[in-house]
Structure 1
Amino acid sequence: MTETEIFNKVSEILVDQFDLEDDEIKLDTNLSEDIDADSLDLFEVLNRVEDEFDIKLAVAEEIQTVQDLVNKVTEQVNA
């Protein structure tokens, strides 16, 4: 799975979770600062991402931007 495909799926989850428009999600979007995700929101997003990609993500504190999340998913999917 390519990074672009992963970004598109992650973007869909974020758009749905936070009621955003597609163009509001970019790789440099900061989850807490740009879309006001709190720790519970991030937990829910990570659960949805784990379910979508059938993976396990550890250490949510390391995930601050969409790029961070895409990188983690890419690592797990391609492992």
Structure 2
Amino acid sequence: MAAVRGALLKHLRVNATPLPLLRYPKTTPNGIFNITFNAIRRFSDEVMGSFLDKSEVTDRVVSVVKNFQKVDPSKVTPDAHFQKDLGLDSLDTVEVVMALEEEFGFEIPDNEADKISTINQAVEFIASHPQAK
């Protein structure tokens, strides 16, 4: 019976390849897998899919800024600086960032929001953010 079982299993076996995340796992002396944070991050990035397209983000950011009450829509370009080109003060810039948060469905941390002073900077940040919708 064992010979029949062995012959049958020999023909029914399916080749399986390990997941890229666990292809060459390193083990610690006690046999526990040591998976690096970068390996987990690469795997989660693959699962989550790609980020938003920059041209789509640019169009949406420009649209949000053009619709802001204190902005002259004819001055809005992808290279525009909120204060120098559009005449917005720091509170207006905060309002624009809040409008961008609403448009893209995620919260921009204060330390990152403080760095956004141009449309291009907003586009770069949003296009590279995994939670942007």
TM-score (norm 2): 0.52
Count of equivalent residues: 78
Aligned to 2:14: none
Deviation at 1:78, TM superposition (A): 6.4
* Unpaired stretches in structure 1, ≥5 consecutive residues: none
Specify which structure has the bigger relative contact order, considering alpha-carbon pairs within 8 angstroms and separated by 6 or more residues.
Answer: 1
Identity of aligned residues (%): 23
* Unpaired stretches in structure 2, ≥5 consecutive residues: 1-51
Tell me which structure has the larger Cα radius of gyration.
Answer: 2
Of 37-46 and 56-65, deviating more is 56-65
Deviation at 1:8, TM superposition (A): 0.8
- 8 A contact 1:57–1:72 mirrored in 2: no
Matches within 5 A, 1:30-41: 30-41=81-92
Q: Deviation per CA, 1:20-62: give whole Å up to 9, x if none.
A: 23x5222221111100111111111111111111112122221
Matched, 1:62 2:115: yes
- 8 A contact 1:3–1:74 mirrored in 2: yes
After TM superposition, the runs of 4+ consecutive aligned structure 1 residues lying more than 4 A away are: none
TM-score (norm 1): 0.83
| Structure 2: distance between partners of 1:64 and 1:30 | 6
